[in-house]
Chain A
Amino acid sequence: MAKLNIDDLKKIKEKISKETSLRHGETRVKVTVHMGTCGIAAGARDVMAALMEELAEADVQDVRVVASGCLGMCSSEPNVTVEVMGENPIVYKEMNTNKMRQVFKRHVLQGEVQTDFALAKM
């Protein structure tokens, strides 16, 4: 039976622990990918994958990614909500991997709301 390599996991753990004692700090931005049936059918999983790639590349520790259910606005899925702590959450509509990368680079990292993709301010 194929299994995970425990040594590999240990190495990753050591590497991460060494690099980032900072990692337990505050969450500055929360990014929610809406993963109801509607979102999943429209491509939310690939949006999430692109977000994780960007996150790994940017190597930031204060961004938290969560999944949630249907928002009730199924026709504009995939929806992604970006909440910079202390500001109003912004819901982005009809996301794809490219839009997600742009929102991550501009809004999450630099704080510029990408109004072209926005559905609403909550």
Chain B
Amino acid sequence: MREIALHILDIAENGIRAGADRIAIVVDEARQDNRLRIEISDNGSGIPPEILAKVSDPFVSTRKTRRVGLGLSLLEAAARRCGGEFHIQSSQGQGTKVTAAFQYDHIDRAPMGDMSSTIVALLVGNPKVDFFYSHTIDGRQFAIDTQEIKKEIEGVSISDPAVIQYLNRTVREALDQLARGGESSKR
């Protein structure tokens, strides 16, 4: 994958395929610790233990449409080649949590990429699923929870183009501000 944000989109879509109705995405860019950490958790059906043990083997998949499972094995390989770590916890019926960490300045680390497009793609494609997204850069945090947003715009779909455009712009601006080190001007 060319961006960490694309890995996140991919792993979050896994959760949705597993029937999750709530997905949490947590990104922590700790530049002073030279660490980038991402965590994606869902409340989907979970992964059976016999598959979980072999999850990083690309030739293992429960899917029927192709015989190789790519997403998790790609993320694990990306983390490991950047001096990082990869963990997956899953319990059947309760959900799955995937954590990957990267050495921030590792030459092979893909750029963070376009997180606002990732969030927007998730919202548009899955308006019934709730997403919590938190992004921290050097201790400064930005977070949105679609459950709260849906309450505010009651009656209007979160995937309405006007809402999507607004959220896209807001996330982009907020992340820009976090990266530049200033407080966001949004309340």
Contact = CB atoms under 8 A, between A and B. Distances in A.
Contacts of A4: 144, 148-149, 167, 170, 186
Chain B, interface size category, equals 35 or more
B74 A37 contact: yes
A62 to B, nearest CB: 13
A72 B66 contact: yes
Interface of B: 1-2, 6, 9-10, 13, 16-17, 63, 65-66, 70-71, 74, 114, 117-118, 120-122, 124-126, 140-144, 148-149, 152-157, 159-167, 170, 174, 177-178, 183-184, 186-187
Interface of A: 1-6, 8-10, 12-13, 15-17, 23, 33, 35-38, 40-41, 44-46, 48-49, 52, 55-56, 59, 65-72, 74
Contacts of A9: 149, 152-153, 163, 166
Tell me the interface secondary structure of chain B in the complex.
helix
B186 A13 contact: no
B105 to A, nearest CB: 24
Nearest to B148: A4
